[in-house]
């Protein structure tokens, strides 16, 4: 009789633990799916607030002077741009993976991911070509409205000929017109 009671108690404990695990799993699975859906909501992921720029990068876009050393400035802007881009890429990859798990194809996120990659390549090409033209350092930032290029100030400052050379490189590599190009001299 004692063996039967021990087995019954063990079975009851096992069933209770399994039921608790199952209920916990069901609750957290629904909650996790709701949170992931909220996180990957297209309107929240793809709005303009997603890509937050540092103060330095915002200053470039606004055409303001930034008071740091040129070397620190370019490093900070590149880091800020890369972090913002990495965050956007991660969100897009999560959206693509989430839709793949759901069995749907997310071509819009894939296209936006491709746009980010193409923008990064174009910016890198522009920066490389401007540096190849003899300028010490530069950083380019492309948006839908235009492009901002911050160039390290040569001796004597940027002249009209320097601006023309930089604008020519930008127009040939990006397709932006002259009125959408902003060139900022960094002292």
Strand partners, 19: none
Token representation of residue 73: 């400035």
Token representation of residue 160: 């009209």
Distance CA 49, CA 29 (A): 29
**Same domain (yes/no): 33, 55:** no
> Into how many domains does the chain fold?
2
pLDDT tens by residue, the chain, 187 residues: 677 777 877 888 777 877 777 777 776 665 544 554 454 444 444 444 445 555 555 555 555 554 557 777 888 888 888 888 888 888 888 888 877 777 776 678 788 888 888 888 888 899 889 888 888 888 998 888 899 999 988 888 888 888 889 999 999 888 888 889 999 888 7
pLDDT of residue 31: 53
Token representation of residue 94: 């999560």
- Non-local CB neighbours of 29 within 8 Å, separated by 6+ positions: none
**Same domain (yes/no): 25, 45:** no
Q: Which domain holds residue 15?
A: 1-39
pLDDT of residue 42: 47
**Same domain (yes/no): 27, 92:** no
Would you say how long the chain is, in residues?
Answer: 187
**Same domain (yes/no): 92, 29:** no
CATH classification of the domain holding 103: 1.10.287.4300
**Same domain (yes/no): 51, 101:** yes
Helix (H) or strand (E) holding 186: strand 181-186
pLDDT of residue 7: 80
């Amino acid at each position: 009789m004692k063996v039967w009671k021990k087995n019954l108690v063990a079975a009851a404990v096992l069933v209770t633990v399994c039921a608790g695990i199952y209920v916990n799993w069901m609750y957290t699975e629904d909650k996790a799916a709701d949170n992931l859906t909220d996180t990957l909501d297209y309107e929240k992921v793809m709005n303009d607030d997603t890509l937050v720029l540092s103060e330095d990068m915002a200053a470039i876009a606004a055409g303001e002077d930034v008071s740091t050393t040129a070397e620190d400035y370019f490093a900070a802007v590149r880091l800020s741009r890369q972090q913002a881009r990495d965050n956007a890429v991660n969100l897009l990859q999560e959206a693509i993976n989430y839709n793949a798990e759901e069995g749907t194809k997310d071509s819009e996120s894939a296209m936006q991911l491709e746009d980010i990659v193409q923008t990064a390549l174009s910016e890198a090409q522009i920066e490389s070509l401007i540096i190849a033209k003899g300028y010490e350092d530069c950083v380019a930032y492309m948006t839908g409205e235009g492009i901002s290029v911050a160039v390290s100030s040569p001796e004597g400052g940027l002249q009209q000929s320097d601006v023309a050379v930089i604008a020519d490189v930008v127009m040939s590599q990006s397709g932006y017109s002259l009125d959408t190009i902003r060139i900022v001299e960094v002292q």
